[in-house]
Amino acid sequence: MKRQTLFFACIVVLNGALWFFFGRERDSKTGARTISSLRPVTNQIVKVRPAPTVVIRTNSFQWEQLESEDYRSFITRLRAIGCPEETIRDIIIADLDKLMAPRIQATDGPHEPAKYWKPQRKQLTRTVDSLEKDTRKQAIDFEKREVIRELLGVDLAAERSRTKGETDIYEERLGFLSLDKRMRTRMAIEQANQEEVALREASWLENDTLTSEEKTRLREIQEKKQNTLATLLTPDELDQYNLWFSPSAYKARETLSTLDPTEDDFLSIYRLQREFDAEWDGVQPSELDPERRAKYEKAQRDFEAGVKEYLGPDRFEKFVQARDPDFQQLQIASAQFALRPDVASDVYSFRQTLSEERAKVDANPNLSRPQRDQVFQALSEETEKAVVEVMGPKAYRYYLRNGAGKWIRGN
């Protein structure tokens, strides 16, 4: 291992002291450093007595004393000579980066060097092959992180965020766990996430929807993660983890986004959501047989009744609004273009108004079908103008590009 550059900070400890000098010369025979006397520079020739030679000797040091293929032994030796922990961390991480770099490069296979006279080969940015390569690279990185955890007790992912000056959400949300449990929990989450994303992207490239085999694989990924966490965490720790990371917690936070919820609000809705999800999470009603679908719909009504009882009618209306995918797209567009927080609610209110006006037109017996269509067209155009005025043209186009806003034209 070549660590001379990174080990520079520890040389001070080996030499025993820092000393400043302005002039120095090396004895050609002994190699000892000399410190020359300092004199003012003038135009006058000044005779001075030669300065005595000061020879500084240290214990004979060879890099081989520290070089070791056994990382644990190497770390112990670094600590024995007083090397700072941060420097040790930098040395080991950098060395492992170099050690594993060839394996990461090998995942890409042979690469023909670019030539300026040859056009670049056009290829898709995401293919099944590229996804498989990314998966192999991720596996090597997870292996590296596990080695660092075992050797130094350091979360490499958190260390990378710290070096960049970024906030690490896992450090914030898993702060109730010990450092070792926090690192292991994070690894379990990220490995499961990586596997799920890779599976979904590969499916998207080949299929319109997830196949039954892919759905089974997704369940297996989640079950594996949950089993790992159940083994690693105590029941109380697992409950606290679920408040942050469970699907039920994410749904509860999302549907309370417009209500400025208290902790009690969240916990109450979360418990109801968790009870519903225990049987129905991920279920698609259209795929159920009539009997199961009836049970699902009853469970859905019971869930909503419980939420309404807790929130009250007015807050429940906002709760329902927040669950609408179209409203969620309005929130995303508002955030993307830094609009005021209530823009999404304002635009969403137009939807209700437009629906009511269309119902009045539809119920008017004095209008023919062509006349109704003409009025509907005028209502849509006026509504679109109002939405653009509130959102701005760019945010509105962004909103439409994400497949939302079909209600404006009556679709």
pLDDT tens, position by position, 73-97: 888 888 888 889 889 888 888 888 8
Q: What are phi and psi of 25, to 5 degrees?
A: -140, 150
Whether 296 and 283 have beta carbons less than 8 Å apart is answered as: yes
Q: 397 versus 212: which is more confidently predicted? A: 397
Model pLDDT, residue 410: 75
Model pLDDT, residue 293: 92
The 8-class DSSP code of residue 51 comes to P
Q: What is the average per-residue pLDDT within 97-101?
A: 86
The helix/strand/coil state of 283 is: coil
What is the rounded (10 degree) CA torsion for 228, 234, 239, 244? -60
Q: What is the average per-residue pLDDT within 150-161?
A: 88
Burial of 86 (0-12, 13-18, 19+ CB in 10 A): exposed
pLDDT band at 1 (very low <50, low <70, confident <90, very high): very low
pTM above threshold 0.85: no
Model pLDDT, residue 381: 92
| Cα distances (Å, whole numbers) of residue 188 to 133, 140, 160, 191 | 21, 15, 18, 5
Q: What are phi and psi of 34, to 5 degrees?
A: -125, 145
Model pLDDT, residue 77: 86
Whether 158 and 171 have beta carbons less than 8 Å apart is answered as: yes
The 8-class DSSP code of residue 338 comes to T
Q: What are phi and psi of 16, to 5 degrees?
A: 95, -20
Report percent pLDDT > 90 for the chain: 39
pLDDT band at 37 (very low <50, low <70, confident <90, very high): very low
Q: How many CB atoms lie within 10 A of CB 82?
A: 10
- Note the pLDDT tens digit of each residue in 263-309: 999 999 999 999 999 999 888 888 889 999 999 999 999 999 999 99
Q: What is the average per-residue pLDDT within 368-389?
A: 92
Task: Kindly report the average pLDDT of the chain as a whole number.
Answer: 81
Q: 400 versus 201: which is more confidently predicted? A: 400
- The mean-pLDDT minimum among 96-110, 125-139, 340-354 falls in 125-139
The 8-class DSSP code of residue 409 comes to G
Relative orientation angle of helices 235-245 and 212-232, to the nearest 10 degrees: 140
Model pLDDT, residue 128: 65
Paired residues of 33 in beta bridges: 26
230 pLDDT exceeds 90?
yes
50 pLDDT exceeds 60?
no
